[in-house]
Chain A
């Protein structure tokens, strides 16, 4: 079982509501779910879609083939009818799309359901047409309404019994209509029971921050990172987190540094354009050795680019941007699960080494929903590396930037003891005051860069290998391509010895001691670096860090993610040239 439902329409028509609700119904019913979204940078109109893949086994990438196309406007049909499978169904309400004659579409399976009329007839009002549609889709799939009804009760619990009843009636009307009027609906969902969790990577980053004891988040809203601020704002009271919307990204990072200096775990988030503004603050954090975590959501650039779309175009940016030389950690999760654990690792490393840890993701990864049995909270680390109150007071003397054997100085909290905590963006001595002499300068650079760097490097995990252990073909990627590459390996391994190498811990670049991934690459006949960008940034980084050059590249830079069929086709074409 592997079905794809695509809901298309204009912004403001409720595509996301229907999509989110269906995804929740499926995950609670025990199915494996993967959803992704495609939307324009506008609040009303345009063409958007929400795609849900549902299966009895793990799914983690969008497919091209669509089984049910829910069209809220005519354009959704013209745009996506070519994606329909042979048994594929188009479902729509002709009162909003207009009549769709068979002759016009060439699609035999057209199902006209009067969503709006059914909603009105059942006393629910036109506004509940989307609930009718949700019920209808479940009817087409021959799934029961039990889980949907539970979700309706949860969602509308505050609005009262009448609203709940109307929605349940509306869902039921759509469900019955679909069952009665769709003889060509031939979908056979598997029996599943154990409810799964459904989570996006943007939520996973937010939850990861909460689980890591983050107490301060500040940002200027920017797609695709705003979801982190939304998530944390929802947790302010429960966990004691201050969320402050800054006047710009420069203020955002500086506020985070102020809070971190004062003794709390702090984070900020933005997209590439906002990160450009944060760069001077990144360098300030490095000079003052102030821990901070930054989430960087990539989107197609330069400049404003395609603001709501996806690209992996900012890999080299956070790794190399700086005035001056300093260590930093860069993580690129490929799944919500990795996003959760790597956000925790980002906080741990930032606090432990007093560095800046950056989590990069993209719009596709941010919005995509995945299902899991659960996350293991025991794997979350939390150590307080700060020296507070009495402990600081007990020290004979205290110097914020004292030389130590590791290069890591004691991180004191100001105002809680008799000792002063002093730091400066100018080069400074151990006490934190401005210096000009050459000897101190060299010792401080050595401390920040050469003493800390090897320790940070040791913390980085090697890439993840999946597939054949002695592969002829190795596909390599980083960040959001994890899911589509992994599924591609599953499909292609029937005809070739193929493996995936996925990097999620990127800077400092992982060593080969724990896992000699370079030998693996060198022993393969073909190595393809797959990136959702034009220039092949990871391939360049690999060459710069290790000297290794991939034998081939697959790059996609149309602002859209890789689709499973498209990627397997391209890999296969490379294979045939071998």
Chain B
């Protein structure tokens, strides 16, 4: 059995007080409890503070380009659908640069776990607004405030019939851990958006701001009711729901591809004996 020490990676270079620390700790605990050992899963990330996550634990890692984690994760899953693949990303990386991949990853329903560290701001490039920044937020580049409507990832995902849609808050670690585990254990594309205060650049959406608003979705809520889920997904402002907003049992892409029914692609051997017959097709 693994111990927590087995997951220990490099020392994080995040700012003291960053919401990412809570996510990191929670994630390690969840993996330990699920019994998924470091060599058994792969983390894929792009660029941003969240994207450094795989370096701060021990696991197989593909840290690629800004916005491009999902297609890499998709390729890995299609090559080896027995290996859990988790994407660590941020609101800029996933909803901005990677928006197209986000939409189509959900549509494919590839069994990838997408953890979006959502701090509603760009940290790595020092304080520009992200797609989830609230309208009116004043930054160095937006002296008149952000004009664009805030992207609602929950509503977008429900609209796309995403297989698993949840929101967590880095300030509620116990609940966060149960949601991390639920996201990983769900069969299908899991979007887990984690509200995570940026203590350095986001002076609006602070721990205090979130604490006054977030609430745990009540146990009697039915996450399989899509219309109700959409209503809940639209909630933002005075009250912000956390928990599993929506889930369904759509078949996953990997299981729909006939040749992946028995063995993962990576363990299928190449049979050269058929080539002569294939050559004959050209006559």
Contacts and interface: CB of A to CB of B under 8 A. Distances in A.
A262 B79 contact: yes
Nearest to A424: B63
Contacts of B143: none
A145 interface: no
A254 B257 CA distance: 20
B283 A28 contact: yes
Contacts of A548: none
Interface residues of A, number: 68
A271 B146 CA distance: 38
A448 B41 CA distance: 27
B65 interface: yes
A254 B80 CA distance: 16
A415 B264 CA distance: 12
Nearest to B41: A415
A258 B55 CA distance: 18
By secondary structure, the B interface counts as helix
B78 interface: yes
A382 B83 contact: no
Nearest to B43: A422
Given A197-B283, A216-B265, A280-B65, A242 B259 contact: yes
B258 interface: yes
A417 B39 CA distance: 7
A116 interface: no
A420 B39 contact: yes
A264 B39 CA distance: 18
Interface in B41-85: 41-42, 44, 47, 52, 54-55, 58-65, 68, 70-80, 82-83
A511 B282 CA distance: 35
B252 interface: no
Contacts of A415: 39-42, 60, 80, 82-83
Contacts, number: 190
B62 A288 contact: yes
A373 B241 CA distance: 69
B257 A242 contact: yes
B105 to A, nearest CB: 9
A378 to B, nearest CB: 10
A515 interface: no
Interface of B: 10, 38-42, 44, 47, 52, 54-55, 58-65, 68, 70-80, 82-83, 100-101, 103-104, 257-260, 265-266, 268, 270-272, 274-276, 278-279, 282-283
Given A215-B268, A247-B101, A415-B41, 4 more contacts: A197-B279, A236-B258, A255-B71, A281-B65
Interface of A: 27-28, 195-199, 203, 207, 210-211, 213, 215-216, 218, 235-242, 244, 246-248, 250-252, 254-264, 266, 280-281, 284, 288, 374-375, 377, 380, 382, 413-426, 432-434
